[in-house]
Amino acid sequence: MYSREKVELFLLATEDGMGPTAAAKFAGVSVGAAKKWATGHLPHSYTGARCRIGARKPRRKEASLGPDKSIYAPPATGPLAGLNEDQIENLLLRAVLADLKAEGWDPASISNRSKCELGERLRRATALPLRSITGFLRISKSSYEYWRPRVA
């Protein structure tokens, strides 16, 4: 069992750019425990309960959009064709902000159902492709398609 101070020392070392092995040696903990901590599995002494810390969880790989494509790539035709990626992102952020103000949602706790409802409103308001909407809302296409007929 490691003390809270050792866990905090390890976490500070990793935040400063050390790898898990070097941070483990620096904090005086085993490499196996350190690798678990680096993925978010922190001990009871630090959390008080078994849990995963979202900031420590390894990032999932973003879906490949092909060469030179991003989720904010403007459509090839239509009224948004002349915009650049920053303008597309700004348009989406403004639409989401207006929707959040109107509905009173907490952005951190939006369910996939609510994301789908918002996505449908964004598609009508912006005429952006589904790939841009789902990427912006951080919802998989399959979840979006699951909820789409249920919220219609």
**CA pair distance 13, 112, nearest whole angstrom:** 36
**Which residue in 135, 62, 61 sits closest to 92, CA to CA?**
135
pLDDT at 48: 54
3-state secondary structure of 18: coil
pTM of the model: 0.38
Q: What's the rounded Cα separation, in Å, for the pair 70 and 131?
A: 9
- Rounded-to-integer distance, Cα 102 and Cα 29, Å: 50
Supply the pLDDT for residue 55: 46
Residues in the chain: 152
Question: What is the pLDDT at residue 141?
Answer: 93
Residues 6+ apart with CB under 8 A from 112: 139, 143, 144, 146, 147
* Tens digit of pLDDT at every position of the chain (152 positions): 677 777 777 777 777 778 888 888 888 888 888 888 777 777 765 555 444 444 454 555 555 545 555 667 777 777 777 788 888 778 777 777 776 666 555 545 678 888 898 888 888 888 888 888 888 888 899 999 999 999 87
